[in-house]
Chains A and B, each alone.
Chain A
């Protein structure tokens, strides 16, 4: 039973995520029946499996959601804005309830009851909010309705003495005819034409301010024997939506042809392969071969997956690392003898290679595509844009780019903040945009791709861009820069990532809560990534984040202090220098500084910061490593540099505790532990 609940909790999180994603798509294209069906199925699945696992609250709410969706689906209704809002909130609540069942904060049952009540509202017959006109449809503003009249008279209609044309003209008087279509596919060949019979049928779309009954009245005498249908299509009539539809579908909608016509002709339509064969451009065998390949490809796309506890994967990785160490020990022992056969050494190389492959493969298992995180932002952008009265579209590419699950977890918040920033400060109000000759709707684009062994994530908006001069002035005001120092555009832009800098004019719910881009920059640096930004006034801003593929491996420089070896992440190192005595100056109160090409940097000795004995305590004897975080650079004295190394990171916290100045540890080739330093905290420690 416990297992069942566990499976349900994991599954439902995924289902709800997908559900939300589909709902967002549905909001843009309500005609997509497949999407609707998927959404309905998702609600149904959650209802069913929650019921099975005894989570009745979740099951009930999902059931009600399913009812609403079912009504929309089977009655082809259009969901109103309020209805979408309620459905979204229901999904939120289901998410919370699932989290509650997984041991998180419990959801107040009263809230659940209230949500159920709100959903029920959309089910009752006399309120028809499902039919409420979406506000983007222009016609409603004038109070006009749009009607479609489908007129299919009996073929002996002429015998009744009524002229169908008269009826149509009468209908045309009631309003403005937007469309008039005649179905002619039923016309027989001229030789078979019976002049006393009516072969044609018509569909008219009329815009009118009159109620539907007035239009129906025209046909009052012919309703009974003929197929007459007058309907209000104000909600669904949108000529701009036609671009997505197939020609045949539009023809059916317009009454030019009927479904049966369409199907009949589609059957006659030949596949491209058949046509090519007919023209002798290819042989039948060639076509069959291609079709086979196509089917094989489709099969491959179904990937089988299993869930594995990440702890287990870590264990496997640990053992592989141990294997590497043991292997090198065995190799050393075996190759110590003078007359080692060549076969032995090649065999060892072979094993080496296999272990490395194994290591890489296991590493890959903890990589996941970033797409899931990206789509989660859709919802946020939608809600925030609505709140601020902006029109913003978030587009996504590169969602298949894979990176370490832990990196994804930790980059989500910084990304969220940058998107919020773009939406809040970048994208202008629709009217402002229009006045500047831009489309009313703003665009934010999220992109991810591989770049030189790391992952690049870009957030681009087409908003107003950043005002470089204003940033500079503000930085001056806040004392973040000194007046006599000339800064390049790039350097000025970097200023907004400094603590205490925020360009927001008003404090909103979204940004201006004290956390700014400086926090984002710091978080990214903790992941050993970098943040850059580019801006063009009036055209937009682009944030470019660069992250390591995985947190498990880092490129570092190995240095020594006394008997110990330390790893400094390469991304934090600016350069190494050998200090001359004349470069070092004492400054009252702040200790020593070092003059590096006329730039004075604070000087700190690593052994002092860490409380360890060192061989070289005189700055001119050791080596100065210039390290930096996003705000500061300092010179760090170490005994010696051993060289660059790619190391696998291990947690110190797992078995011990967080140590200041330490990011983690690694196990070196000889099996000994080396400490990986955390540059931002080291810089902080040096400041004390």
Chain B
């Protein structure tokens, strides 16, 4: 059991390192870092990704909504961590050795998102991306999507970055409570 989890951590660290290496070289559009949440696969624009770091326990922020796990130190800056499972209303899962933080820079703000695991960097041709339309809207989380990417047998939900940063909905919840 002990060796197993250690092995998983090492493997995960390797993936992270390779991805971080690749990140520094990627500049093209339509490239996405793909990650997993629950059973689904998501993608976030590679240009927004600063770094992928291992999960670390954040410092709790007073009176914050559950979606904000807390704040961490990232290169000397204090940045908030958003739990993507909580944000999308997915079932809660214990953080494990695969859990990572993807540090994004959106609209001049740096924010970390906590995801189950990262897989790789994928690229799509424009034809392979289907815009988010009414078909998705039934789903609650559809409002965070800007489209769907098709890659062989994978279906990757591409995130609308601006929406990740909006904390308004938590405020609404807080006020009701």
Residues of A within 8 A of B (CB): 317-319, 321-322, 563-565, 609-612, 650-652, 654-657, 659-662, 665, 667, 671-675
Contacts and interface: CB of A to CB of B under 8 A. Distances in A.
A656 B63 contact: no
27 contacts: A318-B75, A318-B76, A318-B77, A321-B76, A610-B62, A611-B62, A612-B60, A650-B76, A650-B77, A650-B78, A652-B78, A654-B77, A654-B109, A655-B111, A656-B79, A656-B111, A656-B167, A657-B167, A660-B63, A662-B61, A667-B78, A671-B73, A673-B58, A673-B59, A673-B78, A675-B61, A675-B62
Nearest to A671: B73
Contacts of B111: 655-656
Contacts of B68: 656
Contact of B59 (A317, A564, A651, A654): A564
Interface size class of B (residues with CB under 8 A): 20 to 34
Contacts of B75: 318-319, 322
Nearest to A315: B76
Interface in B17-63: 58-63
A369 to B, nearest CB: 28
Given A319-B76, A650-B78, A656-B79, A675 B59 contact: yes
Contacts of A662: 61-62
A501 to B, nearest CB: 32
| Among all A-B residue pairs, the 10 with the closest Cβ atoms | A318-B76, A610-B62, A673-B59, A656-B80, A665-B78, A650-B78, A655-B79, A611-B63, A667-B73, A322-B76
Contacts of B77: 318, 650, 654-655
Contact of B62 (A318, A609, A654, A671): A609
A318 B79 CA distance: 13
B73 A672 contact: yes
Contacts, number: 79
A566 B110 CA distance: 23
B84 interface: no
B71 A652 contact: yes
Contacts of B8: none
Interface in B60-116: 60-64, 68, 70-73, 75-80, 109-111
Contacts of B167: 656-657
Contact of A651 (B60, B73, B78): B78
B60 A564 contact: yes
Nearest to B106: A655
B71 A665 contact: yes
Contacts of A612: 60, 62
A266 B112 CA distance: 76
B13 to A, nearest CB: 17
A655 B62 contact: no
A13 B11 CA distance: 58
A654 B78 contact: yes
Contacts of A319: 75-76
Nearest to A318: B76
Nearest to B61: A659
A610 B63 contact: yes
Contacts of A673: 58-59, 70-73, 78
A563 B57 CA distance: 11
B161 to A, nearest CB: 14
A610 B60 CA distance: 10
B61 to A, nearest CB: 6
Nearest to B63: A611
Given A564-B60, A659-B62, A667-B78, 11 more contacts: A317-B76, A318-B75, A318-B77, A564-B59, A611-B62, A611-B63, A656-B68, A665-B71, A672-B72, A674-B59, A675-B71
A430 to B, nearest CB: 55
Contacts of A665: 59, 71, 78
Given A651-B78, A672-B59, A675-B59, A656 B73 contact: no
Nearest to A317: B76
A610 B61 CA distance: 8
A226 B63 CA distance: 94
A650 B80 CA distance: 13
A659 B76 contact: no
A458 to B, nearest CB: 36
B70 to A, nearest CB: 8
A481 B72 CA distance: 46
A561 to B, nearest CB: 9
A372 B78 CA distance: 33
Contacts of B58: 673
Contacts of A674: 59
A275 B136 CA distance: 97
A563 B78 CA distance: 18
A91 B1 CA distance: 77
A609 to B, nearest CB: 7
Nearest to A664: B78
Contact of B64 (A321, A650, A659, A667): A659
